[in-house]
Structure 1
Amino acid sequence: MTTAPSPASPKALAVWLVIAGVVGWWAAYSLTMERLQLLADPGSTASCDFSVLIQCGKNLDSWQGSVFGFPNPILGLTGWMAPVVVGMALLAGARFARWFWWLFTLGTAGALAFVVWLIAQSIFSLSTLCPWCMVTWAVTIPTFYAVLLHVLREGILPASPAVRRAAGVLMSWLPLVVVLSFAVIAIIAQLRLDVIGSL
């Protein structure tokens, strides 16, 4: 590791990465256990199957649930360790090279793209809302925002002074941005699935 462009370790980001990584990993672990249970006993139902709308089983049994030939949660079991390791390293005072931040940002962008695709598949194709999947969505989206705004604000990614200032301002408004993102997903789910009407 070499000295990064930022003069100080981003403590808040580091703490969030650890929290998000742990929560995301636990969601992936829970989904993996559910998948193993369904494989061991095909006639059983997942413990997170609460209704026709709110369930994990349909998602896990679908082709969308094994895009790369193995259950998607296995990606989470490995992938969510990265934010935990990076966050802990930052809390310990580590400084990462610019190229490392580029790759880490690319990784979070890839995770976000995959999650957005899964959200679309859940709502428009499977017509279900998987509880553990939604936990994954809930930590992936703010993680991408936080990492992207950090690298822009600190000049790790090439950006004009105006963009860096805007990223700094948006970072302070990040909770609102996240809530608005969740609201958009909730509205789309409601319009498509009538979640409230099914309760």
Structure 2
Amino acid sequence: MTTAPSHRRPRGLAVWLIIAGVIGWIAAFALTLEKFHLLENPGSSASCDFSLLVQCGANLTSSQGAVFGFPNPLLGLAGWMAPFVVGAAILAGARFARWFWLAFWAGMAFAFGFVIWLISQSIFVLSTLCPWCMVTWLVTIPSFYAVTLHLFRAGVVPIGARGRATASTLMGWTPLLTILSYIVVAVIAQARLNWIAEVARLFGL
């Protein structure tokens, strides 16, 4: 395979992609099991249903839970293998062609956009916070940021020397960008659903 425009092997990104892939796949697997349980036992509750607000069942049985005609978790089971494989390949010494990075980026962008849409549907339409869904949100957001900034700093996306330098600097701020994104979602959810009071109630606080 040809090498993307001069850049060193991104070991940090590779490790994160492996971690995110494992966590995301576990969440998708758990949701798939919950979906099977609900299909086999109509009228029952999912094990992650803790209250009307904190639950998985409403999300899994809604139209938003099967956007493409099949349960969304199946997308996760297949999709989260990609970051894991890419991360492992980088650590093994693989160097990918520009077209490969762009295709991978497109996949991450789709996942990010889909998650943003699901967050909006969960908060504003279903009025629920699905625990395993939120695990998926937690790993998708930083994964998209990290891949995007890497492609900018590596010159895979041609943005000029200054742009690459800026992306390289921002790469170190990915954790902060991620936390800020979490805060935005948390604030919106609090304003709409008052989740803090619900969590306090569940824990008897």
Shift of 1:163: 1.3
Q: Partner amino acid for 1:116?
A: I
- What does residue 72 of structure 1 align with? 72
Give SS of 1:42's match: coil
Q: Partner amino acid for 1:93?
A: G
> Is 2:128 the counterpart of 1:128?
yes
Where do 1:1-199 residues align within 5 Å? 1-198=1-198, 199=200
User: Aligned equivalents of 1:17 and 1:111: distance in 2?
Assistant: 14
The number of residue pairs the alignment matches comes to 199
User: Aligned equivalents of 1:29 and 1:91: distance in 2?
Assistant: 25
- What does residue 203 of structure 2 align with? none
Shift of 1:43: 2.2
Shift of 1:13: 0.2
User: Aligned equivalents of 1:160 and 1:58: distance in 2?
Assistant: 47
User: Aligned equivalents of 1:105 and 1:81: distance in 2?
Assistant: 14
In percent, how many aligned pairs have the same letter?
64
Shift of 1:21: 0.3
User: Aligned equivalents of 2:107 and 2:57: distance in 1?
Assistant: 28
TM-score (norm 1): 0.98
Q: Deviations over 1:107-151 (max 9, x none)?
A: 100100000000000000000000000000000000000000000
User: Aligned equivalents of 1:125 and 1:165: distance in 2?
Assistant: 41
TM-score (norm 2): 0.95
Query: Contact 2:4–2:154 at 8 Å: present in 1 too?
Result: no
Q: Deviations over 1:63-102 (max 9, x none)?
A: 0000000000000000000000000000000000011111
Shift of 1:7: 3.4
Structure 1 alignment gaps of length 5 or more = none
Q: Partner amino acid for 1:119?
A: I
User: Aligned equivalents of 2:64 and 2:165: distance in 1?
Assistant: 39
Q: Partner amino acid for 1:37?
A: H
Structure 2 alignment gaps of length 5 or more = 201-205
Q: Deviations over 1:37-70 (max 9, x none)?
A: 0000012110000111000000000000000000
User: Aligned equivalents of 2:197 and 2:88: distance in 1?
Assistant: 43
